[in-house]
Structure formats: structure tokens, C-alpha cells
Chains A and B, each alone.
Chain A
Amino acid sequence: MLDKILNQNQKKHYTLEQNQALDLFVLQMHDRDCEVDIRIDLTGADASVNIFGVYFASAGQVIRNRVVVNHNAPNCTSNILYKGALLGENARTHWDGSVYIAENAFAADTYEANRNLLLSQGTSAVSVPNLEILTGDIVRAGHASATGRFDDEQLFYLMSRGIDAKTAQKLIVRGFFEEVVQNAELEDFEQEEILKQLERKIDAVR
């Protein structure tokens, strides 16, 4: 099963039965405030979910994400990766991801990660990954959160090969999102569209 939440406020709850698999893609790349709230219950054995998110907050914009995944059956897998960029005064993002692994959810395999790229001063990215494990039998359980400033050395490297600042910045930001855009089950035209929106966001500055 494949589902996409594209540029809209949304609150969604999915229940996955035995052997069901869900691929979910969340995009927040328009210019309004946006809030997406997702809850996944893995209630049948061998159910699995992949969630990929891409967001970009411009000046004054607030983007919120909440993800809850409940492992309530054995052998379930969950994979969560959100990447976000922030550019402009008072661009704010808030990411909250929780994975709960119940006592009977043996052989759980879960990984959640949120990475943010701060492209300017005056931005704020809050990232709260949370993992609760109640079983002793785990295949993998990990979470990661990283927020970094735009790397001047990368910008310098590209520019030192003749590439102008704006193009270089776009290449680096595209590169940052590449991992998510590639991994999500997207059509080529959708990938292109996302990258175009990304460039528009960067072009809007200055």
C-alpha cells in the first residue's frame, strides 16, 4: 500500500494487519504553516511501514510533524526518515517521533531518524525522537536526530570550481534531500516536482 500526504494539514491513523506493508510519503514544501500527525498501529505479525518526510520552512513559517508507531505484534518493521531545511528569519520546525514496542512485539526492527539543515540564522528546529521498548527480543532498534548548519566548506568547494553561490547552495540542499527522495516510492515526475519546489523555496530569498 502506498499513500502520500502532499502539502496539506492532515491527521491520519493506519492499522496494519498481518503481512500488510505501507509506504507513506509526507511532503511539506508549500508556503503555509503545516501540521501533519500520523499514527500507525502494527497489529498483525510481519506488518511493516516505511515513512519518508521532506519539509522546508521559509521565513515566518511553522512546520510540525508528529509520528507515532506502535509495534503490537511480532516480527514487525518500521523505518522512519524525515529531512527538513530551514531558511529565513523565524522559520521553525517541530518534529516529534515515537516508537513503542509492546511486550509481545518480538523480533521488532525499527529505525527512526530526523535530520535538519539550517540554511540561515534566525531559524529553529526542534527534534524529539523517542523510543520505548518493552520486549527483550529485538532485531534492531535505533533512533537518530541531527541538526546542522549549512556547511561553508562545501559551499566554498563548489564555488571554487566556478559554480555561483545560489546554484551551489541548491546543489547542496538537493543533495541533502536526495536520500529521502530516492528511497521514497516516488515517480520520476514527482521527484522532479519536489526538486523544483525546493529550488523555488531557495530562489524566494534575496
Chain B
Amino acid sequence: MQYDKLEVVDLCVSVVDNRRAYVHAEEKEILKGVNLVINRDEVHAIMGPNGSGKSTLAASIAGAPGYKITSGDILLTLDGNTQSILDLTVDARARAGIFLARQTPTAVDGITLSNFLRTAKTAIDGLAPNVCTWIKELDAAMEHLKMDKSLASRSLNVGFSGGEKKHAEILQLEILRPKFAILDETDSGLDVDALKTVCDEINRTKLDAKFGALLITHYTHILEYVEPDFVHVFADGQIVESGGSSLAKKLEISGYAEYIK
């Protein structure tokens, strides 16, 4: 049987500067032909300078507003069936198994983290979680992440510290068990201990859910805890080099200078 996989094919994406959309929509090409195949259970790391388009790639896969796919495709293969996800709504992509933890998670007033999680879990699984085991499951996940339990009854990400938001994203990862997880700079803003806790949780969830992972990062530190199978260097809207985990070590020493024109 064929492996489940997520495939990015010659993807070109422009952003519509939404701050100016009323005056005259200015389009700017950010991704200039990205090719990437992530099989289920593989870990891919994308590293690259600021502004090179890493978050744009992540956002395009999840279907975030403000990004326009000008050419290319994003394909999802599940149980041997391949389909383009470009026509799928954001929620359908999520239900198909795609998960994105954004660099800066959004805050929403008046919806508690626990209510949000239960609603999302119900949507993803197609049925409400068992009332008896749900609380235990949520408690256990928060314990793994060493999260303050009181966060569960607070408004989603409202007034959360940077670190708490990152923990809350990984909590969602654990509860929702996606097939493909895109983690955009989940490591930034976490101290060494918190990074270890979060990475342990990513690994624990992966062991069970066997998701394919796309880790976007600036630092090699996270890659010491979550071992990548492939490392890709991203520059100016493209993958300019791919290799094994040794490539990350090289980047740590030499930086991105040779990739920037």
C-alpha cells in the first residue's frame, strides 16, 4: 500500500497586502516554485532567513486568508487516494488531517481553551468525545506539557504569555492527532526547559499518531530533540538545498550567507 503523503508541487504564492486592499490590491510574489514531499511519519525541517517565505508556505498549505496560489498544487494522498486540497475549505483540510501551529497564535475572547478543544475534537472525529474520559484526557495532556490547569478555563490565548501560547498549540496537536503537522517556529520564545517539554510531547504524540511533520525553525536546537529525516534550506521563496540532519549542523556553523543573493 502507498504511504499517506503531503505533496507540494511547483507552488507559487503571492500575498495580497490586506492593509492596502481598499486602495489598490498590491500583489507580491513570495513563493517561487516550491517542491516538497512529506510522507507520513517523516520529519522535515525547513530553515532559512527571515522573510524568505517559510510562514507563507505553512499558511498556504493550511489555507490561511490573504494568500493567493498563482500556480502549482498541493496534493494529499490518504489510503492510496490522491486529491488536490486547493479547493478544500480550511476546515475540510483540517478534518482531512492537516494541522498548522502558527508562529503567532490568534487570541479569541469569550471562548475557553477547553471549550475550543472539545468543539475542535468533535469536528475532527465526527463525534463528541466521551464525557467520562474527555476531562481525564485533557488533564493528562496538560500535565505532560506542564501547563497550568487554569489556562483551560481562560479565553483562548487571551493574555497568554508567548510560551503559554506555544504550549497550547502543542496541546491541540496532542488532542487532535493530525496526519500532517506543520509547526511554524514553535521553538521561538521557549526557554531550554520548556523547549524540552514541548518536544517530548511532539515526539510522544508522533509515536502514536504517526504524523508527518514540517518543522519551521531558525535554530538547530529544536532539531536535537525532534530528529529530522530531512533538512531543507529555504531562501527567496524556494528550497535551495536539501539534505539529511547533517545539513542542520552545517547551517549552525556557516549560517545562511551563501544562500542569500
Contact = CB atoms under 8 A, between A and B. Distances in A.
A172 B110 CA distance: 8
B106 A159 contact: no
Contacts of B63: 156, 160
B94 A171 contact: no
Given A156-B65, A160-B62, A175 B119 contact: no
A164 B109 contact: no
Given A152-B65, A156-B65, A165-B89, A176 B110 contact: yes
Given A165-B91, A167-B119, A178 B110 contact: yes
B16 interface: no
Residue in A160, A164, A177, A178 with the greatest tally of chain B CB atoms within 10 Å: A160
Interface in A124-179: 151-154, 156-165, 167-168, 171-172, 174-179
16 contacts: A156-B64, A158-B108, A158-B120, A159-B89, A159-B90, A160-B90, A160-B99, A161-B176, A162-B94, A162-B120, A164-B123, A167-B119, A171-B119, A174-B110, A175-B109, A176-B110
A163 B108 contact: no
Contacts of A158: 108, 116, 120
A153 B63 CA distance: 11
Residue in B109, B124, B172, B176 with the greatest tally of chain A CB atoms within 10 Å: B109
Contacts of A179: 109-110
Given A160-B100, A162-B124, A179-B109, 4 more contacts: A153-B106, A157-B108, A159-B89, A160-B62
B106 A175 contact: no
Interface string A10-38: 00000000000000000000000000000
Contact of A161 (B64, B66, B120): B120
Contact of B123 (A154, A162, A176): A162
Interface of A: 151-154, 156-165, 167-168, 171-172, 174-179
Given A171-B111, A178-B109, A178-B110, A161 B123 contact: yes
B105 A157 contact: yes
B154 to A, nearest CB: 12
Given A156-B64, A157-B106, A175-B155, A162 B176 contact: yes
Interface residues of B, number: 28
Contacts of A172: 108, 111
Interface of B: 62-66, 89-91, 93-95, 99-100, 102, 105-106, 108-111, 116, 119-120, 123-124, 155, 172, 176
A157 B176 CA distance: 14
Nearest to A163: B123
A92 to B, nearest CB: 21
Residue in A151, A158, A176 with the greatest tally of chain B CB atoms within 10 Å: A158
A174 B65 CA distance: 22
A163 B106 contact: no
Nearest to A174: B110
A146 to B, nearest CB: 12
A157 B172 CA distance: 12
Contacts of A163: 91, 119-120, 123
A162 to B, nearest CB: 4
Query: Which 6 residue pairs are nearest across A and B when measured between Cβ atoms?
Result: A175-B110, A178-B110, A161-B120, A162-B123, A159-B90, A162-B94
B111 A161 contact: no
A81 to B, nearest CB: 14
Nearest to B96: A162
Contacts of B99: 160
A47 to B, nearest CB: 31
B131 to A, nearest CB: 19
Contact of B91 (A154, A162, A174, A178): A162
Contacts of A177: 110
Contact of A160 (B94, B108, B110, B111): B94
